[in-house]
Chains A and B, each alone.
Chain A
Amino acid sequence: MTTEYVLSPRARWIFAASNAFVGALFIVLCFVVIKTRFWLVDLPLAVVVLLLEASAVGLFARRRWAERVLRIAAWAAFVCGLALSALLVLTIAFLRGVYGEMSGVAMATCGLVVALVTPYLIVLPALELSWLGPRRDSAS
């Protein structure tokens, strides 16, 4: 049995490094810097971080399961990113609806958070999913 990789060695290294970096970034920011623990946020974040780091390890080590985990990690991050963005946009709408002209600073803060997470939780996973292409059997 041979292993057929969708990703070129170069793409594999780039995605491995990117996922390792993003996973580490979330560990530091969300679990070290922010001391507040709240399971509703921490649990999905921990799952995404684990998947990102697992995919990075697998891609670096050229494991057979690496691209499958990369796809799952990318989907998980992408869905989390969309959910978080939707929550923040609806929060902006709530603030605008209730507080009107007084909501500027809070709306800007929410908008800033959306802008900050978009590259990591939407753009990068979308790029990875697009690069991996449609799902297919990776072993022949």
Chain B
Amino acid sequence: MTLERLLRILAVYSVVLAVCALGLVWFLRVDRSRAPRGPYIVSLWRGGNRLARAVVAADPEHATLDGETRGATRLIEQLIDDAPILAKDPLIFAGSLVSARDGLSVSYRGKTAYATPTDIERLDAYEAHVQFGPLELIVGIDLERVIGSLARELAASPAELFRYGTFRRFAVHDSSGYPRELGPEQVNAKTVRAAVLAAAQYLRRVQHPDGSFRYEIDALTGADTPGYNYPRHSGATYFLARAGRVLIDSAITDSARRAGAFLRDHATLHCGEHVCIGEGQQVDLGSSALALLAYVELVEGGAPEFREPAAKLADFVRSLQRPDGEFKHVYSIAENHAVDVQFEYYTGEAALALGAAHRLSGDARDLDGASRALARLTHKNPLFVGARYFWAAEHWTCQTLDALWARAPDAKALKFCLDWQAENRTAQLTSPPQYDGAIGRGPFLVPRLTPLASRLEAAVATLHAARVAHTDAREVAALEDEIKRGMAFLLRYQFAPGPSYLFPDARTLQGGVPGSPIEMKVRIDYPQHAGCAMLRYLELLTG
């Protein structure tokens, strides 16, 4: 083939491909910025059940709904724009809806049914696992659930509907008020204080009389997820103890005391000559470190009965530290020795716990242990280029930096935490507006709240240390902007009260923090991380 002919082929190929690609974008595009123009989908919801629906062209406030009931919520969703689904291949179909934003309509035998974003949310059908050859991917909706629901509305079989129905995705403007419309400029002492209080009151509300918590609640069903986790119990206790002390709320402090007593009375074991926290024949460092952190907060909040348990746990944590600052993360009770393995988080948790213990004990070994662990985590070889690109979850590390700054300042650790926050800023989303400030996870997955909340715990701690250390004002300003945008995202999605019409038990969930905009589950560490970040920021805001 001559060069000329080859170039001609490539030119034709490029032009045809460009035209096809642009045509495809135009064909599939939904314009969310336009004024709503479509019909109104009016639904009546109560306790997670859709009681009635009407689709009207105008005057949705007066649309007649069968079975109008007191206490039900009338939700109005108006179509903004819609677009066709490219193909009925399950992978392409499932990936053709944007999680938490798109609905799906189907026309069949002259009738049209709508699965609005609220319907799909209620079906828990966003982010389904799809098998693609041997790969399992999360791309878009759970087709079986959504089409099953549409088929019931049209009195057709799902298979028949899937084959013969004409599907379109659509964007809506809704009247639900969730997520809240709240920007970074509204993040202030008043809004943050209210959010912290609500998160703490949520944990109080889900606490059992013995001090343990309802570990995870599925908001859409009201059911509990089985299982329990002592590090997370300790984290929740730590947050409650701090919140009770900072907000001067005796009911929250009492709740924290009960949670602390549960740890002390139900989860304290003997690890050789020391006491430790956990269950079974093998315990991890994290449980004891976070329990120690919680005990210290409880003592400082006026619960002296935790002073001795704190001192004993500090002994245990110190006993696991290696000369290089790292910790052995597991203790085998059965074999009566520490196991030198490492997991994520635990070294940072132990460092922060020892730093806190030093405030109580005044024991130089606690401060030294915390400082060495912090150095181990943050002093990186400057020639290791990868350290600029690959980061572990360092939220405990950077809280340790701040906690130790007045007693053992570490400039290298501050630089490390500032660099990590700069990296986090590059992952912060700016659009769509409701996700502004969140950490992106790609197009198919909506951002999660807790990974952001834990980064904000570190960001607020770093902000405080940076201010005290007189770091460059521009860097401090960028950090504060990051924090405000992140906090606004958390506040937007905290249940205040959230989409309460979808919940069988909305009252209990008030103040809870969900896993994500579409994962309506509240685990005890979700309000803990969000609450701790907000509480520390509240302290900075109020001086």
Size category of the B interface is: 35 or more
Cβ B28 vs Cβ A97 within 8 A? yes
Cβ A134 vs Cβ B27 within 8 A? no
Q: Is B67 an interface residue (CB 8 A)?
A: no
- Given the complex, which residues of A lie within 8 Å of B134, measured CB to CB? 36-38
Complex interface: stretch among B14-22, B240-248, B500-508: B14-22
Given contacts A89-B17, A133-B1, contact A98 B6 (CB under 8 A): no
Taking the nearest CB of chain B, how far is it from the CB of A127, in angstroms?
Answer: 9
Cβ B443 vs Cβ A90 within 8 A? no
Report the bound CA distance from A48 to B143 in whole Å: 37
Cβ B443 vs Cβ A93 within 8 A? no
Using CB atoms, name the residue of chain A closest to B427. Answer: A105
- Given the complex, which residues of A lie within 8 Å of B86, measured CB to CB? 94
Cβ B25 vs Cβ A96 within 8 A? yes
Using CB atoms, name the residue of chain A closest to B92. Answer: A94
Q: Is A101 an interface residue (CB 8 A)?
A: yes
Taking the nearest CB of chain A, how far is it from the CB of B187, in angstroms?
Answer: 23
Given contacts A93-B20, A100-B29, contact A130 B2 (CB under 8 A): yes
Q: Is B32 an interface residue (CB 8 A)?
A: yes
Report the bound CA distance from A36 to B97 in whole Å: 27
Which residues 117-140 in A have Cβ within 8 Å of B in the complex? 126, 129-130, 132-135
- Given the complex, which residues of B lie within 8 Å of A103, measured CB to CB? 443
Q: Of A85, A105, A106, A134, which contacts B2 at CB under 8 A?
A: A134
Given contacts A98-B95, A101-B431, A134-B2, contact A90 B10 (CB under 8 A): no
- Given the complex, which residues of A lie within 8 Å of B522, measured CB to CB? none
Using CB atoms, name the residue of chain B closest to A132. Answer: B1
Report the bound CA distance from A102 to B30 in whole Å: 13
Given contacts A102-B443, A132-B1, contact A97 B25 (CB under 8 A): yes
Interface, chain A (partner B; CB < 8 A): 36-38, 40, 82, 85-86, 89-90, 92-106, 126, 129-130, 132-135
* 9 nearest A-B residue pairs (beta carbon): A97-B28, A93-B21, A93-B24, A38-B133, A99-B443, A97-B25, A130-B3, A103-B443, A129-B1
- Some 27 contacts from A to B, beta carbons below 8 A apart, are A40-B133, A82-B13, A90-B17, A90-B21, A93-B28, A94-B24, A94-B28, A94-B92, A95-B443, A97-B27, A97-B28, A97-B29, A97-B83, A98-B96, A101-B431, A101-B432, A102-B98, A105-B440, A105-B442, A105-B443, A106-B442, A126-B6, A126-B10, A129-B6, A133-B2, A134-B1, A135-B1
Interface, chain B (partner A; CB < 8 A): 1-3, 6, 10, 13, 17, 20-22, 24-30, 32, 83, 86, 92, 95-98, 133-135, 169, 431-432, 440, 442-444
